[in-house]
Amino acid sequence: MAFLTDRKRASGMGSAKSGTEHHWQMMVSSVGLLILIPIFIFQFGSALGGTYEEVIAYYSRPVPAGIAMLTLLVGFFHFAKGVQTLIEDYVHGKARKIAIIAMICLSYGAAGLGIFALIRIAL
């Protein structure tokens, strides 16, 4: 029977080093999305049901395009960090690194395509 304290059991196991930073990034992006998503929904709702020309003209203005762009950026950043946490918890070994790299590339690629589409509409 070993009489070890919690500190002694954890000693030598190393530290996560980036857990606090990751948590704060998730918290900040959550608050950002809490503000951006309702604004984006009301903004998108006003453009919904319009003709193609009306929607293009609406998103050619800087404020609606900027809100949509911020929502895409913050949303995909939050998605990338959340999926990274999910993969770290449930995938092990070399597959973990491959899955994290693939999901980060996928999320930033999708964000890039969304931004490119908005820029094409706005210009």
Q: Is residue 16 part of a domain?
A: no
Q: Is residue 94 part of a domain?
A: yes
What integer best gives the mean pLDDT of the chain? Answer: 90
Q: Is residue 5 part of a domain?
A: no
Over the stretch 85-116, which tens digit does the pLDDT of each residue have?
999 999 999 999 999 999 999 999 999 999 99
Q: Is residue 50 part of a domain?
A: yes
Q: Is residue 93 part of a domain?
A: yes
Number of domains observed in the structure of the chain? 1
The rounded distance, in Å, linking the Cα atoms of 58 and 107 is 26
Q: Is the pLDDT of residue 26 over 70?
A: yes
Structure pTM? 0.81
Over the stretch 62-72, which tens digit does the pLDDT of each residue have?
999 999 999 99
The DSSP letter of residue 87 is H
What CATH number did the domain enclosing 62 receive? 1.20.1300
**Can you say how many angstroms the Cα of residue 118 is from the centroid of all Cα atoms in its chain?**
18
Mean per-residue pLDDT for 54-68?
Answer: 93
The DSSP letter of residue 94 is H
Quote the pLDDT of residue 74.
97
Q: Is residue 1 part of a domain?
A: no
